[in-house]
Structure 1
Amino acid sequence: MDVGAAYTLADLAAEISRQTGRAIPYVNLPEAEYAAALKGAGLPEGLADGIASWDVGASQGALFDDGHVLSQLIGRPTTSLQESVAAALRVGGGPRPGGWRPGPRFGRSRP
C-alpha cells in the first residue's frame, strides 16, 4: 500500500498477520454485538455505544478522504499502513505469547 492509501480493518488485520507471522482474524461485528463486547471488556455503556456507532460510520466511509487533508494538517506525508504496523509492533514489543491481553489502561488485566 502506498503512503496515504486508504485501508480497511481487514487490511490492517492482514498486515499485522503478515508482519507477525500469526493469523490475526478480523471479524466485522454488527453494531450491537460490538457494543456488547466493549461493555463486557469494562467500558461504560455510553462510551461503548459511541465507539460502536463511530465504527459503523467509519466502515461506511465517514473518515475517507482522498484529498490528503491529514497530510496538509500535519505538514508531512502520512505514514503507510506497513510502516505504522511495524512501528506499533516495535513500541509494543511485538506479539506476546498467548496473544494480546488488555493491560491496566483498559481497566482489566488477565493472567
Structure 2
Amino acid sequence: MAVHRRAQALQEARRTSALVRRELGVLLRRSEEMDAKIEKITARHSSAEESQPSEEDYYLVFKKAIDGNYPDAHQFGDAVEATFGFLVPDDEANRLVNRFITRHVAELQEDHIA
C-alpha cells in the first residue's frame, strides 16, 4: 500500500511540475511580449521627442482640418494625433488653434487684397 501511495504521490508531483512549467512558459512569453511592446512605445516616444513637428507642420494639420469651420482645440488635437501619433495637451492645442485662426484670416485677407 505504501508503494502505491508513493507512486501516486510521484505521479501527482510530475503532473504538478509539468503544469507549473507550462504556466511558466506562458508567463515568459507574455513577459517577452510586454517587453517588446514597452520597447516599441519607448522607441516611438524617443523618436517623437527627437523629431517634434515644427509650428509649420502643425499649421498644415490645422489647414487640413478646416471643414467649413475652423477646428476647435479638440478636433485639432485629434488631427494631430492622427497625423503624428501623439497627443497635444489641451491648453497647447487651444493656443495653437487661436494662433492659426489669426494667421489664416490674415492670409485670406492678404490674398483678397492682392
Max Rg structure: 2
Do both share a fold (TM > 0.5)?
no
TM-score w.r.t. length of structure 1: 0.28
